Amino acid sequence: MLFNSTPFLFAFLPVSLLVFRLLFRHAPGWMVVLWLSLSSIFFYAQFIPLHLALFATSIAVNFTLGRRLADHPSRAVLAGGIVFNLGVLCVFKYTGFVIANLNTLTGLAIPDPGIVLPLALSFFTFQKIGYIIDVYRGGAPRYRFNDFLLFVMFFPQLLAGPIVHHATVMPQIANLSGKRWADPAGDLAIGLTFFCIGLFKKLGIADSVAPYGDFVFSGDAAAPDMLTAWIGAIAYTLQIYFDFSGYSDMAVGLGRMFGIRLPQNFLSPYRATSIIDFWRRWHVTLSAFLRDYLYLPLGGNRRGRFRRYANLWIVMLLGGLWHGAAWTFVAWGALHGFYLSVNHAWHAVRGRDNHPGRVERLAGWLLTVLAVVVAWVFFRAPDFATAGKVLLGMAGRNGIILPGAAAPFIDALPRLKAALDISTGGANHLATLGGGPVMLLSLPAAMIIALACPTAHQWLEDGAWRFGSYRFPLLAWHPTAAWAMALFALAAGSLAWQVNTVRFLYFQF
Amino acid sequence: MPSPSRFLMVFLVLYGAMALLVGVNALVIGNTREYGDLDRLIEEQGRVKGLYRGLAHSFFEFRQRSYARRRPEVTIIGTSRSQEVKSYFFTRPFYNLGGPVYSPFQAGVLADKILMAAPPKTLIYVLELAPFCGKTDELDRRAQEWHADGGYSNRYWLVTRLLMEGRISVAQVFDLATGRISAGDDLFGISAALTGSGFGPDGSIYNFVRLREMATMDVPARFTQLFGLTDPSWSERCHLSRVAMNGIDAFVAKMHAVGTEVVLMLAPYPSKTLEGAARQNDDLGYLDEMRRELATKYPHHFFDFTDLRPLGANDCEFLDSAHGGEVAYMRMVNAAARDPLSPLHEVVDRAYLERAIEANAGRTMVADDDIGRRRPAMMALAEKLRCSR
């Protein structure tokens, strides 16, 4: 039951929201919180009900540990708690990976037990570890179980974040318990707006560009030519952003409808002019977690330059592995560790206070985008062979295939044609996807939105629409009937697009 | 900032209208028994020997799961022009996978997705002519395209989509939602409820709706209806597509590797279509080249049934200008099984087919099973439409 699914939109959400609002008006605060917790448990149970037992155990253990650490801070208990949480994650997420590597290294044939990773376990684990560390440090008060349960299970953030910090959410849950909510109607309107934008980003944009990436990274596009490889890599770059940030916007919107303000997760990351800047804008809540609970405890930048680079590498390698149990994710993390080290080294050479000019910022942006796109190739590819195939294609090793219409122009430039191995009218891999100009237009459109449009937070909080440096007051969001119609049309159109687009007609059956 | 009440009111009204559509859809899907688990639906279909023609589930998935449950020894693949072959033609377990395979390229993918998991001992591949037309790159690419029947729809919006595409009327939606048109005991799916037709538990088609349509037209009209749409290669000047020929070889090799014997058959056309094609295009040499090459390469495994007149069939055994009826396919399967070196020799019930062909010549439908016996009116109609022209 994903946020864009019909059962969620037309059964779960209206029922849980309606009852929640009725309880908020007419019932005691603890019932409001309990209802929200029960709704969240029901939501999670729609996936694999058995995994609820694991979550229940983990919640009970972490709550008990939290109480124990609050009363008697003990490094051993904290270490036990971290080992427990990471142990659960490792067993469920990395057992198959470890066995496969052991088998490769030793020639053994240990069977893979085929453990299914419970949905949300990665996010859930980080949240719990952050909580018990803060309790140990004296940074978290004693919470009631009812409130703690909701903090952990709150369905908008449960599956894919944002990774919420207890200090952000628990006071808001306490407000609900105390029946304090300044503007329920206003929050509902803002929540719906966030949700509609997120739905559009996910269904209207991410899913539109997805087929290009999927095709290039599947086994069907043998040795993609340069054009195909770049289109595929850029398509995935856009897909992952709009998919994830769309989902985050939907989560933020849902939280707002239920009176909880969740943090924003994306700050137009593809506008970043350096890798350091990129990580301040991409998956902000994960970056904050890794900084606060891994990078800084490792010593951060306080123990010399070499140690700083080593810490960055450790954080990014583990961050990569957190995303998925495969060496390609580790490679993605390693690349970003390398990028960050180079970026910090560059700062050290240039001086941090140096104010780059327009050209330097443009060059920085281009370099950042290039580095990010290349790293995404490893993130998306199912294996190194595919990643290598796509990267070689991007580097022009498989030549360039242009549409047949380009033949007269290219034939007029025989030396260029030979030098770049350009051919025309051949079987361009992406041509087999069909879709025509509308599908191809979705890529530049998505790029413009990613680079020039405000984020949902900026739009709703800024009171104006900024397009680059231009401001359009007419496009400012207000809770008016016109905006309600426009946003509903955006969401309904996205749903219709999803409903009426038969994707992977062939490859997925 | 203005009060959000108007925003919320407008949003709520629009959302309510959309929710109403979802509700109507749920009623229709529920009344036509398309809700729920596909495996349970297939099990129920097999138990009551019913017909399935649904839209809420992927057609491929329906085929895939049905095939996996049955694990047949004999199967057939191709387009809709392979769907008339029924399990009672054979002495061994059979499932008809016909429908989604238009080109050899698709056959290869079907093998990867369905067949390799449970390879049959014998596979009949009914070939279309069009993929062999390789006049240009574009046509070569066409050989790799897929048959357009394989999509699936979001079941929660199915009715809305059908309405928007004009494939169902508001009155029909009303009747389906209120149960005025219901699926009945042995029909599963919206299309089955509306037409009374569908796929049997053996995967073959029972096209009763076509029988009713045929009753409204004379014999020549049947063949002008679809002619020209069915096969663009009739009007193209082509050379033999190597893409298609290599695709056939690759598919046969792939199936051989898992112990499956492949029988290749060219799908039949009524004489009116063949005469029309000859008038329209005097350069069909690439088809002769294809026939020669396949016959040389696959002796006792390749059968050219483009023209069924030598087997005694007449145009009355065709549903339209491209689709043979059940008796036409009985003739093909029986003829291929006569060859003692054909893989079909041991698995076809030839004695039965000889009798059935003799008794039903000139008919399109026999349905000599529970499904047919439960529909005496349809069988009477098939008999009434029987002719010898």
For the segment A150-201, what is each residue's pLDDT rounded down to a tens digit?
Answer: 999 999 998 887 888 888 999 999 999 998 998 899 999 999 999 999 999 9
For A82-96, A422-436, B157-171, which range has the lowest pLDDT when averaged over its residues?
A422-436
Q: Is the predicted pLDDT of residue B40 greater than 70, yes or no? A: yes
Q: What's the DSSP call for residue A401?
A: E
Other beta carbons within 10 Å of B389 = 11
Counted across chains A and B, CB pairs separated by less than 8 A come out at 92
Condensed to tens digits (0 to 9), the pLDDT of residues B138-153 reads 544 554 554 434 555 6
Chain A contacts in chain B segment 67-86 (CB below 8 A)? none
Instruction: Tell me which chain A residues have a C-beta less than 8 angstroms from the C-beta of B160.
Output: 499
Q: To the nearest whole angstrom, how far is the Cα of B365 from the nearest Cα of chain A? A: 31
Q: Which of A427, A481, A509 sits opposite B141 (nearest CB)?
A: A427
pLDDT at A277: 94
pLDDT at B322: 84
Q: To the nearest whole angstrom, how far is the Cα of B157 from the nearest Cα of chain A? A: 7
For A100-114, A119-133, A227-241, B178-192, which range has the lowest pLDDT when averaged over its residues?
B178-192
Give percent of chain A above pLDDT 90. Answer: 52
pLDDT at A432: 52
Nearest by Cα to A155 from A39, A72, A244, A309: A39
Judging by beta carbons within 10 Å of its beta carbon (0-12, 13-18, 19+), is residue A168 exposed, middle or buried? middle
Distance CA(A332)–CA(A321), nearest Å, equals 9
Q: Is the predicted pLDDT of residue B299 greater than 90, yes or no? A: yes
Q: Is the predicted pLDDT of residue B2 greater than 90, yes or no? A: no
pLDDT at A222: 66
Contact A10 B18 (CB under 8 A): yes
Distance CA(A99)–CA(A110), nearest Å, equals 7
Distance CA(A294)–CA(B36), nearest Å, equals 46
Q: To the nearest whole angstrom, how far is the Cα of A74 from the nearest Cα of chain B? A: 50
In the beta sheet, which residues pair with residue A487? none
What are the φ/ψ torsions at residue B148 (nearest 5 degrees)?
A: -80, 10
Q: Are strands B261-266 and B302-304 parallel, antiparallel or unpaired?
A: parallel
Condensed to tens digits (0 to 9), the pLDDT of residues B169-179 reads 999 999 988 88
Catalytically active residues of A, by annotation = 323
Q: Taking all residues of chain B, what is their mean pLDDT, rounded to a whole number?
A: 86
Angle at B333 (CA atoms; ends B331, B337), nearest 5 degrees: 115
pLDDT at B148: 39
Number of residues that this document lists for chain B: 389
Number of residues that this document lists for chain A: 509
Looking up tokens 């908020």 gives: A24
Rounded mean pLDDT, B264-287? 84
Q: Say what the alpha-carbon torsion angle A291, A295, A297, A303 is, to the nearest 10 degrees.
A: -130
Distance CA(A315)–CA(A321), nearest Å, equals 10
Tell me which H or E stretch contains A499: helix A481-500
> Which is higher by pLDDT, A160 or A130?
A130
Contact A241, A449 (CB under 8 A): no
Contact B60 A509 (CB under 8 A): yes
Instruction: Extract the tokens encoding A212.
Output: 């290009």
pLDDT at A508: 23
pLDDT at A503: 36
Condensed to tens digits (0 to 9), the pLDDT of residues A206-240 reads 888 888 888 888 765 567 888 888 988 999 999 99
> Taking CA atoms, what residue in B is nearest to A509?
B60
Q: Is the predicted pLDDT of residue A414 greater than 70, yes or no? A: yes
Contact A287, A270 (CB under 8 A): no
Tell me which H or E stretch contains A424: strand A422-424
> Taking CA atoms, what residue in B is nearest to A186?
B4
3-state SS of chain B is CCCCHHHHHHHHHHHHHHHHHHHHHHHHHHHCCCCCCHHHHHHHHHHHCCEECCCCCCHHHHHHHHHHHHCCCEEEECCHHHCCCCHHHECCCEEECCCCCCCHHHHHHHHHHCHHHCCCCEEEEEECCHHHECCCHHHHHHCCCCCCCCCCCCHHHHHHHHHHCCCCCHHHHHHHHHCCCCCCCCEECHHHHHHCCEECCCCCEECHHHHHHHCCCCHHHHHHHHCCCCCHHHCCCCCECHHHHHHHHHHHHHHHHCCCEEEEEECCECHHHHHHHHHHCCCCHHHHHHHHHHHHHCCCCEEECCECHHHCCCHHHECCCCCECHHHHHHHHHHHHHCCCCCCCCCECHHHHHHHHHHHCCCCCCCCCHHHHCCHHHHHHHHHCCCCC
Q: Is the predicted pLDDT of residue B313 greater than 60, yes or no? A: yes
Distance CA(A488)–CA(B41), nearest Å, equals 36
> Which is higher by pLDDT, B148 or A88?
A88
Distance CA(B131)–CA(B145), nearest Å, equals 9
Q: What's the DSSP call for residue A455?
A: P
Chain A contacts in chain B segment 92-131 (CB below 8 A)? 100, 106, 109, 113
Chain B contacts in chain A segment 303-332 (CB below 8 A)? none
> Which is higher by pLDDT, B122 or A142?
B122
Domain ranges of chain A: 13-181
Q: Which of A185, A431, A509 sits opposite B8 (nearest CB)?
A: A185
Q: To the nearest whole angstrom, how far is the Cα of B108 from the nearest Cα of chain A? A: 12
> Which is higher by pLDDT, A33 or A471?
A33
Distance CA(B159)–CA(B29), nearest Å, equals 8
Looking up tokens 């095939």 gives: B67
Peptide bond before A162: cis, by omega within 30 degrees of 0?
A: yes
Tell me which H or E stretch contains A243: helix A226-257
Looking up tokens 């992406």 gives: A430
Query: Using 50, 70 and 90 to split pLDDT, how confident is the model at B285?
Result: confident
Q: Which of B2, B5, B157 sits opposite A478 (nearest CB)?
A: B2
Query: Using 50, 70 and 90 to split pLDDT, how confident is the model at B357?
Result: very high
pLDDT at A505: 23
Q: Does B338 touch chain A (CB under 8 A)?
A: no
Q: Tell me the whole-structure pTM to 2 decimals.
A: 0.78
Q: Is the predicted pLDDT of residue A39 greater than 50, yes or no? A: yes
Contact B146 A505 (CB under 8 A): yes
pLDDT at A439: 64
Tell me which H or E stretch contains A490: helix A481-500
Other beta carbons within 10 Å of B280 = 12
Interface confidence, given as ipTM, is 0.84
Rounded mean pLDDT, A287-298? 90
pLDDT at B85: 97
Looking up tokens 């229940």 gives: A56
Query: Using 50, 70 and 90 to split pLDDT, how confident is the model at A48?
Result: confident
